[in-house]
Amino acid sequence: MKEKKFCPYCGLGLTEKFTEGRMRQYCPACALPVYENPVPATSVVVADENDRILLVKRNIEPKTGWWCLPGGFLETGESPEEGALRELYEETGITGKIDMLLGVLTNEGRFYKAILMIGFLVRSFSGTARAGDDADEAAWFDKDRLPEIAFNSHQSLIRIYYAGYRQNSPNPACSP
């Protein structure tokens, strides 16, 4: 990730200044810190009736050729749920309904300092999985036959799903 060198508001060069309890990039002309906020993204664990999950093989950087959950960055004006379902359709051709939030995680990114990953579970869906958008393949995988997963946040969401939100097992939060 390249550091910002210029103020996004006035275009002048940035300096570093201790402000608000830490060193931050600072614009002396605007007299304001320049914040590095996480970029919001979503992903979905899509599970079928056989407890398999849907993965896509990436055809863009980062991690071209690696498998991951369908997902991507939110666009201005859409909710995390809308963004997750849009990405699911763009990458797999599947339309779905979000069952629940699986987790909210942070990850370092190659192009962004931090990514705020919002993960959802989709069990109600229609359509036939096919590669689209930035995916070379879309395929269903059994828990014990998962390929290497591209991103730590996706690995965590898959673990969360298999730890307690599978189709045929009770939610651990509701167990005695």
Same domain membership, residue 18 and residue 95: no
Of residues 160, 153, 121, 148, the one with CA closest to residue 39: 153
Same domain membership, residue 142 and residue 128: yes
Same domain membership, residue 152 and residue 69: yes
* Within a domain: 111: yes
pLDDT on residue 175:
34
Same domain membership, residue 65 and residue 2: no
* Within a domain: 173: no
Of residues 133, 50, 119, the one with CA closest to residue 84: 119
State the amino acid at position 21 in one-letter form.
Answer: G
Is 70 exceeded by the pLDDT of residue 171?
no
Active-site hit among 36, 81, 82, 137 = 137
Give the DSSP H or E segment for 116: strand 115-126
Same domain membership, residue 66 and residue 139: yes
- Strands 15-19 and 22-27 turn out to be antiparallel
pLDDT average, residue stretch 93-117: 91
* Within a domain: 47: yes
Please provide residue 34's backbone torsions phi and psi, each rounded to the nearest 5 degrees.
-105, 110
40-75 pLDDT, tens digit per residue, is 999 999 999 999 999 999 998 889 999 999 999 999
pLDDT average, residue stretch 93-100: 96
Active-site annotation holds for 75? no
Q: What is the CATH number of the domain that holds 69?
A: 3.90.79.10
10-25 pLDDT, tens digit per residue, is 999 999 999 999 999 9
State how far the alpha carbon of 25 is from the alpha carbons of 1, 19, 112, 165, in Å: 15, 9, 16, 42
Q: What is the CATH number of the domain that holds 23?
A: 2.20.70
Same domain membership, residue 157 and residue 108: yes
The residue segments making up the domain with residue 69 are 39-165
Same domain membership, residue 130 and residue 47: yes
DSSP structural state of residue 80: H
Same domain membership, residue 5 and residue 75: no
- State how many domains the chain has: 2
DSSP structural state of residue 7: -
